Amino acid sequence: MTFDRVPIVESALDEYLASVRDDRAPLPADAELRAGTGLTARRAVELFEDQVASRAVDVAARELKKTNRSFYTISSAGHENNAVIGAQLRVTDPAFLHYRSGGFFMARARKLPGSTPVFDTLLGVVASSDEPIAGGRHKVWGSRPLWMPPQTSTIASHLPKAVGLAFSLARARRLGVDGDLAADAIVVCSFGDASANHATALAAFNTARYAVRIGLPMPILFVCEDNGTGISVPTPEGWIADTFGRQPHMRYVSAAGDLGEVWEATGEAVRHVRSARQPAFLHLSTVRLWGHAGSDAEHVYRSAEEIAAIEQQDPLLRNARFLVEHGAATARELRALVRDTRERVTAAAEEATHRPRMETTAQVMAPLAPDHPSRVAQRAGHPLLSTDERSDVLGGLPEEASAPNARTLAGNLTAAMADELARRPELIVFGEDVGRKGGVYNVTNGLQRRFGAGRVFDTLLDETSILGIAQGAAHIGLLPMPEIQYLAYLHNALDQIRGEAATLQFFSQGQFRNPMVVRVPGLAYQKGFGGHFHNDNSVGALRDIPGLLLAVPARGDDAARMLRGCVAMAAEDGRVVVFLEPIALYHEKDLHQDGDGGWLADYPPPPSHLLPGEPGLYEADDSHSADLLLVSYANGLRLSLQAQRQLRGRFDIRARVFDLRWLNPLPLKALREEAGRVPAVLVVDECRRTGGGVADAIIADLVEAGVATTPASVRAVDSFVPLGPATATVLVGVQDIIEGTLAAVGERSVAAR
């Protein structure tokens, strides 16, 4: 492979090294360039080599793109001083890095013998399936041996989970779950000056400072790599320093100047975080060379004079001068180092283009949604508590949850969480008001008293940070069960699931995982408690996330068994699960009439569990024939069962009721089998007609599968849920189900037979 040009900044480096006279011998390799800083001549030269390697990879990526042998590129050119951070941290200090981290990656890999960071990076550039972290699915900075979970974020959405890991380090150690990290390990995450303004980033900074304020350890190093621009939009002069320079509970350190000054400032920040166990904000001054990305036409928004002035600040040129002037190396030695590094990168780039790429759907999707039901079943049943141990656990809970007789949905969930907490020491439960208060709906009542504030605890009011804590905790081996207080509150933080948690196994080929079960009270039909924030009937945004499990129980016994199965799936397969709990059914006791107790259920003890693909079926009577299949979930199940009785009694229509239980993935195989046994199917979808629920997907599948049945649906109106009795005008009711049934089976009247 040959390059058809050498970028101007490379020429400037070459010209400088060619112009310098080698008239003095270099210092001894172990001589410090600045006393007491630890920056020796050898270390400085190694840093420069790592920076040159990063730059050469960026050049190779652009040259490969010209011949369509590589893809979208974002270079690290101008940010190479982040190698100083990589050199000063340990391999076991978890690193969450943004996309201009080539120097850091090279310096970090130097610490691990046998690493091949140049070749690994180039394999990612050409999207080769041999690339060791993402397998060609995306160009990311990541490595399991280097404790670098891959990040796909471009807007700082990786910061909350970095904070979550820092928050969890001490907690995990106290619980006997410390992974492979030292007691004084710290977390580092990097981002740009533009993305520092993003709400997600600000949430992370706030949560880190909040933790310190309430006395919790928060050993995190925030690294803002400030190149003064976000694509084409300039960052105001002094904005980062003014904004973050005087934040309480977060030390600000500026890293600017020559290589020695950057090394010294970085060391100060690292030492503070490691010793004080408190956050630091390292403000690293950088420049951005060559535009934002390979496709960015920089000349459109920068003049030739501006571009030239920026190129004169090239860190490679400045660092070469520093090494020569401080006697770390001669110009001749640096010329040889640059030449050899470029040749090595060129050869690696050529070899990378001959490596295989993914070619099949199965290859692409292999790490997306691991599924091992037999192993999950074993995990769900082991280790079991003895009868006495379970009695002790359940005896410490509120009477409704611990009584041996039938329980509500809420009572069954409380008991199930208690069982799981008792037999899984790595499980933690947290969220707004879940601790001392026991949850807004008392579902976590008594858990903190029984298991302690180390495992059941309250968080600040910020859903982004709650989900960030969950991800970070899971990275280190804890099993998080966060609660988002209402479904409507999840939407403002959804990217923490969509863009971060659900993508991790996919982009790391399962080498990193963040298992969790996110409990979310939601859906509509609450009486006396109104407005769309507390009655949110839309699940479309969750069903759209690849690999996400969405469990929606309706009855208490199902809820306990489904929760147990979800916890086991998270623990065994690393799955991300949203466990959506219908608020209106939490404390419901009756089904058909007051006092019938038809919605209560005995608590099913472990190892009884349910997994995706296992729905529920309710026959109308002992008859083996039916006129119709009612398909529903959550509140719709209760409404369908009420309609089932009325249809039988008033119209002599026999209806089976099919409880989906799982909305992602839908139990379509079981549904096809049941639908094939009846002449008509009515989907009772309590969510909004357009894009909010599951009716579209179910009916499309039945039609495409050629199931010989007539499909129809009743759904909620495309409206937000109003307050008071007006809710009945937009939500599905029993009468809607009856009318839909009569239409589906050929009746045109609701008059009783």
Give the start-to-end residue ranges of the domains of the chain.
8-355, 377-585, 616-744
Q: What is the DSSP letter of 82?
A: G
pLDDT in tens, 248-259: 999 999 999 999
pLDDT in tens, 607-640: 999 999 999 999 987 666 899 999 999 999 999 9
Average pLDDT taken over every residue of the chain: 93
Would you say the CATH fold of 377-585 matches that of 8-355?
yes
Residue 604: which pLDDT band, with cuts at 50, 70 and 90?
very high
More confident position, 640 or 691:
640
Please say if the pLDDT value at position 737 is more than 60. yes
pLDDT of residue 25: 83
Joined tokens for residue 572: 């065994």
pLDDT of residue 534: 85
Residues 6+ apart with CB under 8 A from 539: 487, 550, 552, 580, 663, 687, 692, 693, 694
Q: How far apart are CA 588 and CA 599, in angstroms?
A: 6
pLDDT of residue 36: 86
| The residue type at 236 | P
pLDDT in tens, 490-511: 999 999 999 999 999 999 999 9
pLDDT of residue 752: 40
Domain 8-355 matching CATH 3.40.50.970: the answer reads yes
Minimum mean pLDDT among 133-147, 486-500, 615-629, 699-713: which range?
615-629
What are the strands of the beta sheet with 95-96, ordered from one edge? 95-96, 187-192, 220-226, 280-285, 251-255
Please say if the pLDDT value at position 708 is more than 50. yes
pLDDT in tens, 86-102: 999 999 999 999 999 99
Strand partners, 521: 581
Question: Are residues 709 and 676 in contact, defined by beta-carbon separation less than 8 angstroms?
Answer: yes
Nearest CA among 451, 447, 443, 425 for reference residue 435: 447
pLDDT of residue 377: 93
Please say if the pLDDT value at position 1 is more than 60. no
pLDDT of residue 165: 98
More confident position, 567 or 5:
567
Work out the percent of the chain whose per-residue pLDDT is above 70.
Answer: 96
Give the helix/strand (H/E) hosting 659.
strand 655-659
Q: How many other C-beta atoms can be found within 10 angstroms of the C-beta atom of residue 495?
A: 17
Please say if the pLDDT value at position 154 is more than 80. no
pLDDT of residue 6: 42
pLDDT of residue 7: 53
Mean pLDDT of 395-424: 86
pLDDT of residue 394: 83
79-118 exposure pattern, b = at least 16 Cβ within 10 A, e = fewer: bbbbbbbbbbbbbebbbbbbbbbbbbbbbbbbeeeebebb
| Burial class of residue 667 (count of CB atoms within 10 Å of its CB; 0-12, 13-18, 19+) | buried
pLDDT of residue 4: 40
pLDDT of residue 748: 40
Minimum mean pLDDT among 42-46, 376-380, 405-409: which range?
405-409
Class of CATH domain 377-585: alpha beta
Please say if the pLDDT value at position 2 is more than 70. no
Residues 6+ apart with CB under 8 A from 353: 1, 64, 69, 126
pLDDT of residue 750: 41
pLDDT of residue 273: 98
pLDDT of residue 749: 38
Question: Are residues 393 and 414 in contact, defined by beta-carbon separation less than 8 angstroms?
Answer: no
Mean pLDDT of 542-571: 97
Global model pTM greater than 0.85: yes
Mean pLDDT of 569-577: 98
Residue 3: which pLDDT band, with cuts at 50, 70 and 90?
very low
pLDDT in tens, 169-210: 999 999 998 778 999 999 999 999 999 999 999 999 999 999
Domain 616-744 matching CATH 3.40.50.2000: the answer reads no
Mean pLDDT of 402-414: 86
Number of separate helices (H) and strands (E) present in the chain: 28, 19
Q: How far apart are CA 371 and CA 280, in angstroms?
A: 40
Please say if the pLDDT value at position 328 is more than 60. yes
Please say if the pLDDT value at position 296 is more than 90. no
Helical pair 556-573 and 409-423, crossing angle rounded to 10 deg: 30
CA-angle at 740, arms to 738 and 744, nearest 5°: 115
Residue 751: which pLDDT band, with cuts at 50, 70 and 90?
very low
